[in-house]
């Protein structure tokens, strides 16, 4: 099916460097496929080191002018950009759905979510206050001012192709940084459409640059940025393995790093929980984007007293989910992003069943009709999960719910924290004293208490342990893009 947009010019298929749309210097391209069918429907440059270096040079040249703009002027550019994102929601949602596979309704939600960050940082841009330090020695004035760190490289994953890049570009530009971006191989088109709207908003040439590449060439593109001392910061969302690689490789030039990495979220249902609310919260947290989210619960711990009841109510809700292509308005779960993702989900399910898991629902690939490709995986529930299973220590990133049994608070806290990851955790209880006790002891950057939908531009989003460092959103969101300068002026007595 052709991708029909109100504005066909939003389907950009070139790099954007120094205010110009251009092909890669090496002129090879890679294809972008619809995850629902596997059919290619667009292509973008398969860029290399030379393209990456051209983007860096443009961003470096634009930096002095951009950071010197009054904060209010930078804010105006962001507001104009945001207005264009909102006005083109439907086209952006169609592009997201087509290249990423999430249902259209969810894709519209992602546009609103990403746009909220742009709006938020257009407002925060004018509040990057410093400090006047009270006089310590007569005649000496001391100040701490905040300034933009410089050229920022932004590297983003495929699961939220609009929101993940918007929540990096917006704070970077608000702070006065310039940006070079590389979207994921599977989903470059949404990012290119966003940049097209940024161009239309009048953001000056060189301030925002984007380079696309295939998985085979990504190390070359990003490697050119990691080795370049003009790039002062890397902001990355993606897997922990790649995050560690970036930390190692950027050490040579001591870049600032923000790493939003993988998770393996525990979701705890205590025996005093409101079970319907817990089922609702789990459905929201688990099935957003078909389970392909970093804060998706991978381990659901249910108190043995309510285990059977919870499993039964949950399975009834999951069984009613409608799978289908993103383009169908009533789809609730689309295809997974690609066949590698489905292979991983399948291997986690098989491993769990081989290690004592009991299959309550799903457990296999499905094809609803002949047009479907091989990337659909049935929503799955596995009971009697245990910590020997791969899904207890690795992200499954798919529509698989694993139900673990527990009998007391101490035990479940030990199990919940028994992971190298520390992004999000959730728990449901009606005991107010337990609320603060458990929230304090969970080793994660984000805790949902009787709530499954946590993301907000007004809140600090990020992890601890091997889920990374840095925070996106909130009043803290600009900190990662700014550095503090201490100024001491003498001779004033
Ligand atoms: P990924 O494989 O780490 O890829 C993320 C980005 O890094 C992509 O642009 C990818 O490019 C690039 N990349 C891959 N290998 C690289 C290398 N050697 N050097 C430099 N860049 C490289 O992760 P993903 O599979 O796209 O995304 C899923 C992961 O993201 C999950 O672990 C999920 O939990 C995490 N995530 C975290 C958050 C958060 O806020 N903490 C949010 C969303 C997702 P290619 O696409 O070309 O390979």
CA distance 262 to 250: 20
Residues 95, 96, 99, 105: is their CA dihedral positive or negative? negative
pLDDT score of 371: 60
Q: What are the b/e assignments for 464-488, b being 16+ CB within 10 Å?
A: ebbbbbbbbbbebbbbbbbeeeeee
Ligand 1 pocket, residue 81 CB under 6 Å: no
The residue to mutate among 52, 113, 239, having the most atoms of ligand 1 within 8 angstroms of its beta carbon, is 239
Ligand 1 center–CA 394 separation, angstroms: 15
Q: Alpha-carbon dihedral of residues 131, 137, 140, 141, nearest 10 degrees?
A: 10
Task: For Cα atoms 175, 180, 185, give the angle at the middle one, nearest 5 degrees.
Answer: 130
Tell which atom from ligand 1 comes closest to the C-alpha of 463.
41
Q: Is the pLDDT of residue 328 over 90?
A: no
Task: For Cα atoms 421, 96, 84, give the angle at the middle one, nearest 5 degrees.
Answer: 110
The residue to mutate among 29, 102, 157, having the most atoms of ligand 1 within 8 angstroms of its beta carbon, is 157
Instruction: Enumerate the β-bridge partners of residue 486.
Output: 144
End-to-end CA distance of the chain: 76
CA distance 32 to 160: 16
Tell which atom from ligand 1 comes closest to the C-alpha of 295.
34
Q: Is the pLDDT of residue 120 over 70?
A: yes
Averaged confidence pLDDT in the chain: 97
For residues 190-219, give the mean pLDDT.
Answer: 98
Question: 294 with 423: CB under 8 angstroms?
Answer: yes
Ligand 1 pocket, residue 340 CB under 6 Å: no
Instruction: Enumerate the β-bridge partners of residue 131.
Output: 144
CA distance 324 to 319: 14
Length of the chain: 493
Q: How far is CA 295 from CA 82, 182, 259, 423, 471, in A?
A: 26, 23, 15, 7, 14
Q: Whose CA is nearest to atom 35 of ligand 1?
A: 238
Q: At what angle do helices 432-441 and 409-416 cross, to 10 degrees?
A: 30
Element (H, E) at 182: strand 178-182
Q: Is the pLDDT of residue 327 over 90?
A: no
Which of the two residues, 479 and 329, has the higher pLDDT score?
479
Ligand 1 center–CA 393 separation, angstroms: 18
> Model confidence at 1, in pLDDT bands (50, 70, 90)?
confident
For residues 161-172, give the mean pLDDT.
Answer: 98
Ligand 1 center–CA 156 separation, angstroms: 6
Residues 6 or more apart in contact with residue 224 via CB below 8 angstroms: 49, 52, 53, 56
CA distance 345 to 406: 25
CA distance 285 to 401: 11
> Model confidence at 370, in pLDDT bands (50, 70, 90)?
low
pLDDT score of 216: 96
pLDDT score of 2: 82
pLDDT score of 27: 78
SS3 259: strand
Closest listed residue to residue 54, CA positions, set 234, 258, 255, 230: 230
Q: What are phi and psi for residue 330, nearest 5 degrees?
A: -95, 5
Residues 6 or more apart in contact with residue 352 via CB below 8 angstroms: 382, 385, 389, 390, 391, 402
Ligand 1 pocket, residue 185 CB under 6 Å: yes
Q: Is the pLDDT of residue 158 over 80?
A: yes
- Looking only at the bridges linking them, the beta strands covering 141-148 and 482-489 are antiparallel
For residues 18-23, give the mean pLDDT.
Answer: 98
pLDDT score of 369: 65
Ligand 1 center–CA 261 separation, angstroms: 8
CA distance 480 to 389: 36
Q: Is the pLDDT of residue 368 over 90?
A: no
Q: What are phi and psi for residue 358, nearest 5 degrees?
A: -115, 120
For residues 392-420, give the mean pLDDT.
Answer: 98
DSSP 8-state symbol, 4? -
CA distance 90 to 95: 9
CA distance 126 to 106: 32
For 77-117, write each residue's pLDDT tens digit: 999 999 999 999 999 999 999 999 999 999 999 999 999 99
Ligand 1 pocket, residue 248 CB under 6 Å: no
Closest listed residue to residue 70, CA positions, set 151, 121, 126: 126
For 234-257, write each residue's pLDDT tens digit: 999 999 999 999 999 999 999 999
């Amino acid at each position: 099916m052709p991708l029909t947009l109100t504005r066909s010019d939003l389907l950009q298929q070139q790099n954007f460097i120094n205010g110009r749309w251009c092909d890669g210097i090496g002129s090879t391209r890679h294809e972008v496929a619809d995850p629902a069918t596997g059919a290619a429907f667009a292509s973008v440059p398969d860029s290399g080191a030379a393209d990456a270096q051209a983007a860096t040079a443009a961003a470096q040249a634009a930096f002095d002018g951009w950071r010197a703009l009054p904060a209010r002027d930078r804010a105006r550019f962001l507001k104009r950009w945001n207005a264009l994102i909102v006005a083109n929601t439907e086209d952006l949602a169609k592009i997201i759905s087509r290249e990423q596979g999430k249902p259209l309704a969810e894709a519209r939600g992602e546009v609103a979510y990403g746009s909220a960050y742009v709006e938020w940082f257009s407002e925060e841009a004018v509040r990057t206050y410093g400090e006047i330090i009270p006089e310590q020695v007569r005649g000496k004035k001391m100040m701490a001012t905040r300034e933009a760190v410089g050229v920022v490289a932004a590297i983003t994953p495929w699961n939220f192709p609009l929101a993940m890049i918007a929540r990096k570009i917006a704070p970077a530009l608000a702070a006065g940084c310039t940006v070079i971006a590389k979207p994921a191989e599977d989903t470059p088109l949404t990012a290119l459409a966003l940049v097209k709207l940024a161009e239309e908003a009048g953001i000056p040439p060189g301030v925002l640059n984007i380079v696309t590449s295939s998985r085979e060439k990504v190390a070359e593109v990003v490697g050119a940025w990691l080795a370049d001392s003009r790039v002062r910061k890397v902001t990355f969302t993606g897997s922990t393995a790649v995050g560690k690689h970036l930390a190692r490789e950027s050490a040579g030039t001591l870049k600032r790093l923000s790493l939003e990495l993988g998770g393996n979220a525990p979701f705890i249902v205590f025996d005093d929980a409101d079970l319907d609310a817990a089922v609702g919260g789990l459905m929201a947290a688990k099935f957003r984007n078909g389970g392909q989210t970093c804060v998706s619960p991978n381990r659901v711990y249910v108190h043995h007293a309510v285990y059977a009841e919870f499993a039964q109510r949950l399975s009834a809700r999951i069984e009613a989910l409608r799978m289908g292509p993103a383009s169908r308005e009533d789809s609730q779960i689309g295809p997974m992003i690609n066949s590698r993702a489905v292979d991983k989900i399948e291997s986690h399910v098989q491993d769990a069943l081989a290690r004592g898991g009991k299959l309550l629902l799903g457990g296999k690939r499905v094809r609803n009709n002949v047009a479907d490709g091989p990337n659909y995986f049935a929503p799955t529930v596995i009971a009697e999960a245990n910590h020997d299973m791969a899904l207890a220590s690795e992200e499954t990133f798919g529509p698989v719910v694993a139900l673990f049994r527990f009998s007391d608070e101490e035990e479940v806290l030990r199990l919940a924290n028994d992971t190298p990851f520390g992004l999000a955790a959730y728990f449901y209880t009606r005991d107010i004293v337990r609320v603060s006790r458990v929230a304090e002891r969970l080793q994660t950057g984000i805790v949902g208490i009787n709530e499954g939908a946590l993301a907000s531009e007004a809140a600090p989003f990020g992890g601890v342990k091997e889920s990374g460092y840095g925070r996106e959103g909130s009043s803290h969101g600009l900190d990662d893009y700014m550095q503090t300068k201490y100024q001491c002026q003498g001779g004033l007595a």
